[in-house]
Amino acid sequence: MKKYVYLFLPKSAEGSNKMSHLLGGKGANLAEMCNLAIPVPPGFTISTEVCTYYMKHKKYPPGLKKQVNNALQKIEKTIGKKFGNHKNPLLLSVRSGARKSMPGMMETVLNIGLTSKTIPGLISQTTKPHFVYDSYRRLLMMYADVVMETTFGNYNIRLKMEKLLDRIKKKQKYKRDNQLTNEELIILCNDFEKLIIKNFNASFPNKPEEQLWGAIKAVLQSWNGKRAIEYRNIENIPHDWGTAVNVQCMVFGNMGNDSATGVAFTRNPSTGENKFFGEWLRNAQGEDVVAGIRTPKPISNNSSNDLEHQMPSIYNKLHTIQKKLESHYNEMQDIEFTIENNQLWLLQTRKGKRNGFASIKIAIDMLKEKKMNQKTMLQKIQPKHINEILLPTINYHQQKNLKAIAAGLPAGPGCATGQVVFDPETAEKFVQNGKPVILVREETSPEDVQGMFVSNAILTSKGGMTSHAALVARGWGKCCIVGCNTISIDEKNKKFKIDKIEILEGEWITLDGSQGYIYYGKIKLTKPSITKNTLLNDLLNIINKNQKTVVRTNAESNKDAKTALALGASGIGLCRTEHMFFKPNRISAMREMILADNQADRKQAIMKLLPYQKRDFYKILKVMNGRPVTIRLLDPPLHEFLPIKDIQIINLAKRMNVTKKKLQQIIENLQESNPMLGHRGCRLGITYPEITEMQVQAIGQATIQLIKEGLKPNPEIMIPLIGSLGEFINQKNIIHSALKSVFANNQIKKYPIKIGTMIELPRACLIADKIAEHADFLSFGTNDLTQTTFGFSRDDIGSFLPKYIEQNIIANDPFQTLDQQGVGALIQIAIQKARLINPNIKIGICGEHGGDPESIKFLIGAGVDYVSCSPYRVPIAKLTLAQNN
Ligand code: PEP
Ligand code: MG
Using the predicted structure, report yes or no on whether residue 502 has a pLDDT greater than 70.
yes
Ligand 1 atom nearest 576 alpha carbon: 9
Distance 784 CA to ligand 1 centre (A): 6
Closest CA to 321 of 299, 298, 295: 299
Instruction: Identify the residue whose C-alpha is closest to ligand 1 atom 3.
Output: 781
CA of 783 to the centre of ligand 1 (A): 5
725 C-alpha to ligand 1 centroid (Å)? 20
| Rounded-to-integer distance, Cα 466 and Cα 482, Å | 9
Ligand 1 pocket test, candidate residues 552, 574, 785, 823, most atoms within 8 A of CB: 574
Average pLDDT over residues 789-798: 87
Contact criterion met (CB below 8 Å) for 436 and 421: no
Q: Residue 821: what pLDDT?
A: 97
Give the pLDDT confidence score for residue 485 in this predicted structure. Answer: 84
Position 766 confidence tier, pLDDT thresholds 50, 70, 90? very high
Looking at residue 291, its pLDDT comes to: 59
- Cα separation of 149 and 443, whole Å? 22
Pocket lining: 846 vs ligand 1, CB cutoff 6 Å: yes
Q: Between 654 and 849, name the one with better pLDDT.
A: 849
Cα 829 to averaged position of ligand 1 atoms, centre (Å): 20
User: Residue with the nearest Cα to atom 1 of ligand 1?
Assistant: 781
Does residue 576's CB lie within 6 angstroms of at least one atom of ligand 1?
Answer: yes
Q: Is 469 exposed, middle or buried (0-12, 13-18, 19+ CB in 10 A)?
A: buried
pLDDT of res. 229: 86
Contact 723 CB / ligand 1 (< 6 Å): no
Residue 786 CB less than 6 A away from ligand 1: no
Average pLDDT of the residues in 480-484: 90
Backbone angles phi, psi at 374, to 5 degrees: -65, -35
- Cβ–ligand 1 contact at 675 (below 6 Å): no
What pLDDT is recorded for position 227? 79
Per-residue model confidence (pLDDT) at position 643: 78
| Phi–psi pair at 774, nearest 5 degrees | -115, -10
Residue of 577, 581, 846 to mutate, ligand 1, most atoms within 8 A of C-beta: 846
Could you tell me if 17 and 33 are in contact, meaning their C-beta atoms sit under 8 angstroms apart?
no
Cα-to-centroid distance, 867 and ligand 2 (Å):
15
pLDDT at residue 746, rounded to an integer: 87
The pLDDT value recorded for residue 289 is 67
Report which protein residue has its CA nearest ligand 1's atom 9: 576
Strand 866-869 and strand 842-845: the pairing is parallel
Those residues whose C-beta lies under 8 Å from the C-beta of residue 177, and which sit 6 or more positions away, are: 134, 165, 169, 293
Q: Count of residues for the chain?
A: 885
Among all bound ligands, the one having the nearest atom to the CA of 851 is 1
Ligand 1 in reach of 783 Cβ (< 6 A): yes
pLDDT average, residue stretch 461-478? 77
Q: Are 90 and 76 in contact (CB under 8 A)?
A: yes
The CA angle 837-841-844, to the nearest 5 degrees, is 125
Report the pLDDT averaged over residues 681-689.
95
Band (pLDDT 50/70/90 cuts) for residue 796 is confident
Q: Which of 95-99, 461-465, 623-627 shows the lowest mean pLDDT across its residues?
A: 461-465
Mean local confidence (pLDDT), 782-789: 96
636 Cβ below 6 A of ligand 1: no
* Cα–ligand 2 centroid distance for 685 (angstroms): 15
CA angle 141, 142, 144 (to 5 degrees): 70
So what's the pLDDT on residue 572? 98
* Nearest to 204, CA basis, from 267, 288, 141: 141
The pair phi, psi for residue 45, each rounded to 5°, is -115, 130
DSSP string, 393-425: EE-TTT-TT---SEE-EEEE-SEEEEEEESSHH
Burial 790-814 (b: 16+ CB within 10 A, else e): bebebeebeeebeebeeeeeeeebb
Q: Is the pLDDT of residue 570 over 70?
A: yes
CA distances from 485 to 174, 417, 466, 498 (A): 18, 20, 16, 9
| DSSP 8-state class, residue 263 | E
Question: What backbone phi and psi angles, to 5 degrees, belong to 378?
Answer: -65, -35
Q: In this model, does residue 645 exceed pLDDT 60?
A: yes
CB–CB of 480/412 below 8 Å? Answer: yes
Q: Using the atom order of ligand 1, give the atom closest to the CA of residue 574.
A: 5
Mean pLDDT of 262-266: 95
**Is 497:487 a contact under the CB 8 Å cutoff?**
yes
Please name the amino acid found at residue 670: L
Q: Which of 152-161, 633-642, 766-775 has the lowest mean pLDDT?
A: 633-642
- Using the predicted structure, report yes or no on whether residue 518 has a pLDDT greater than 80: yes
User: At 7, which amino acid appears?
Assistant: L
HEC readout, 275-340: CCEEEEEECCCHHHHHCCCCCCEECCCCCCCCHHHHCHHHHHHHHHHHHHHHHHHCCCEEEEEEEE
- Choose among 268, 264, 296: nearest CA to 278: 264
CA-to-CA distance for 353 and 244, rounded, in angstroms? 21
Alpha carbon distance 733, 754 (integer Å)? 13
Instruction: Grade residue 494 by pLDDT with cuts at 50, 70 and 90.
Output: very high
d(CA 627, CA 866): 13
Gap between the Cα atoms of 832 and 839, Å rounded: 9
What local confidence, expressed as pLDDT, does residue 515 receive?
A: 81
Q: Give the residue, by CA position, lying nearest to ligand 1 atom 4.
A: 781
For residue 799, pLDDT over 90 is answered with: no
- Please determine, for residue 529, whether its predicted confidence score (pLDDT) is greater than 70: yes
**Which residue has the CA at smallest separation from atom 6 of ligand 1?**
781
Distance 715 CA to ligand 2 centre (A): 19
The rounded Å distance from CA 783 to ligand 2 centre is 6
Residues paired with 7 in a beta bridge: 44
The model's pTM is: 0.78
Task: Decide whether any atom of ligand 1 lies within 6 Å of the 850 Cβ.
Answer: no
**pLDDT higher than threshold 60 for residue 292:** no
Residue 54: predicted pLDDT: 96
Cβ partners under 8 Å of residue 632, min gap 6 = 574, 575, 576, 577, 718, 719, 720, 758
CB contact at 8 A, 220 and 245: yes
Please identify, by atom number, the ligand 1 atom nearest to the C-alpha of residue 780.
Answer: 3
Note the maximum CA span of the chain.
Answer: 107
573 lines ligand 1 (CB under 6 A): no
784: enclosing H helix or E strand: helix 782-790
- pLDDT given at position 666: 83
Share of the chain above pLDDT 70, in %: 98
CA of 592 to the centre of ligand 2 (A): 25
Per-residue b or e along 641-670, where b marks 16 or more CB atoms closer than 10 Å to that residue's CB: bbbeeeeebeebbeebeeeeeebeebbeeb
397 flagged as catalytic: no
Query: Which runs of E-coded beta strand occur in 763-839?
Result: 777-780
Query: What pLDDT sits at residue 230?
Result: 79
Catalytic residue among 130, 468, 639, 849, which? 468
Catalytic (active site) residue 468: yes
Of 753, 768, 744, 820, the residue nearest 789 (C-alpha) = 820
Q: How many CB atoms lie within 10 A of CB 570?
A: 20
Pocket lining: 847 vs ligand 1, CB cutoff 6 Å: yes
- Annotated catalytic residue within 479, 575, 846, 869: 846
Q: How confident is the model at residue 777 (pLDDT cuts 50, 70, 90)?
A: very high
Close Cβ partners of 737 (under 8 Å, ≥ 6 residues apart): none
Q: What is the pLDDT of residues 826-881, one digit of tens each?
A: 999 999 999 999 999 999 999 989 999 999 999 999 999 999 998 888 999 999 99
Query: How are strands ordered across the β-sheet holding 517-520?
Result: 406-407, 517-520, 508-512, 415-421, 437-441, 457-460, 479-482, 409-412
Terminal-to-terminal C-alpha distance of the chain = 46
User: Is residue 868 in contact with ligand 1, taking CB distance under 6 Å?
Assistant: no
Average pLDDT, the chain: 92
Q: Which of 110, 102, 20, 225 is nearest to 471 (CA)?
A: 102
Residue 290 confidence (pLDDT): 60
- Quote the Cα angle for 841-844-849, to 5°: 160
* C-alpha of residue 836 to centroid of ligand 1, in Å: 26
| Cβ atoms of residues 346 and 335 within 8 Å | yes
Coil/strand/helix, residue 192: helix
Q: How far is CA 758 from CA 732, 789, 846, in A?
A: 13, 15, 9
User: Is the separation of the CB atoms in 411 and 482 below 8 Å?
Assistant: yes
Atom number of ligand 1 nearest to Cα 720: 6
Q: Which letter, b or e, does each residue of 480-515 get, where b requires 16 or more Cβ atoms within 10 Å of its Cβ?
A: bbbbbeebebeeeebbbebeeeebebeebbbbbbbe
* Cβ of 788 below 6 Å from ligand 1: no
* Measured distance CA(831)–CA(881) in Å, rounded: 19
410 phi, psi to nearest 5 deg:
-75, 95
Is the model's pLDDT at 466 over the cut of 70?
no
User: Could you give phi then psi for residue 688, rounded to 5 degrees?
Assistant: -125, 75
What is the tens place of the pLDDT at every residue in 202-212?
999 999 999 99
For residue 822, give every residue at least 6 positions away whose Cβ sits within 8 Å of its Cβ, in sequence order, or none. 789, 790
Residue 552 and residue 628 in contact, taking contact as beta carbons nearer than 8 Å: yes
Q: Which among 332, 235, 334 has a CA at the least distance from the CA of 289?
A: 334
* Ligand 1 contacts CB of residue 121 (under 6 A): no
User: Is the CB of residue 578 below 6 angstroms from any atom belonging to ligand 1?
Assistant: no
Which one of the ligands is nearest to 682 CA?
2
Ligand 1 atom 10: the closest Cα is on which residue? 784
Q: Whose CA is nearest to atom 8 of ligand 1?
A: 783
- CA-wise closest residue to 812 among 831, 790, 780: 790
